[in-house]
Amino acid sequence: MTSSFTREGVREYERRRYRGLDQRLVHARESRLCGKFLAAIDAETGGQLAAGGLILDLPCGYGRFSSLLGASSGRVMNSDLSFEMVFRAAETSGCPGIVADAKRGLPFRAGAFLAVFSMRLFHHIHDSAERRAVLAEFFRVSSSWAIVSYYRTNALHKAQRALRRLLKKNPRKIRLIDAVEFRADAASAGWGVVRDVPLFRGLHAARVALLRKSGQGRLFDSGRFS
């Protein structure tokens, strides 16, 4: 997200961004995976999430996941680089919001949130040191958990980008990360990767990962989140 959105621009983005069939499928799959991860967090914490455990949604965007997070907890802090995005997410969720940049530090105390929820952020961060800094901030403000997405390298996505270059179309400026690099980045901040699930195996580069502070518990059964 950039900070240049106007209020009208946010509404237009909200109307068009997930309008196509492919993007509706992406949103449905992301919501399904994240819903499972949120349910797992609630189960592991003995119902703390459903009892009102606070979630940080960053970047919140226009509140695409507000309904999901609200149903899981009801207590959400919306945060984004764009004031207008935060304003819209606050309208959508009925929860407060604040403009913040995780790369520069978050204005929250340590352990303020039961979980950090971060969808569609890390593929915009091209520098490994910045990515690790953001993960470290997530670690600091979370008491235990994070749900994050990233784009993982795969052969199909590489072929698509090569074709766009051949057709002289500018590929989107996203950062692809391999599994080893992502786990190293997470570990450097103190996170253990509990699960790392593809959005659509072999078809899409996006992954959704459930992170837990290292040493705080066991890994889940691998079949639970397919």
Domains of the chain by start residue, with CATH: 7-225 (3.40.50.150)
- Check whether 223 has a pLDDT greater than 70: no
Residue 160: predicted pLDDT: 57
* Residues 32, 199 contacting (CB under 8 angstroms): no
Give yes or no for residue 74 having a pLDDT over 70. Answer: yes
* pLDDT for residue 121 is more than 60: yes
More confident: 117 or 179: 117
In the chain, the percentage of residues whose pLDDT exceeds 90 is 76
CB 88 within 8 A of CB 70: no
Task: Decide if pLDDT at 172 tops 70.
Answer: no
Element (H, E) at 110: none
Phi-psi region of 96 (alpha: psi -120 to 50; beta: other; left: phi over 0): beta
pLDDT value at 196 more than 60: yes
> pLDDT > 70: what percent of the chain?
86
Question: What number of residues does the chain have?
Answer: 226
Instruction: Name the pLDDT band for 111 (thresholds 50, 70, 90).
Output: very high
Average pLDDT over residues 106-120: 98
Structure tokens at 192: 């253990």
> Any idea which of 16-25, 142-151, 201-210 has the lowest mean pLDDT?
201-210
Q: How many CA atoms lie within 13 A of 94 on its CB side?
A: 7
Looking at every residue in the chain, the average pLDDT score rounds to 89
User: What pLDDT, on a 0 to 100 scale, did the predictor assign at position 1?
Assistant: 41
pLDDT at position 4 is 78
What was the pLDDT predicted at 222? 45
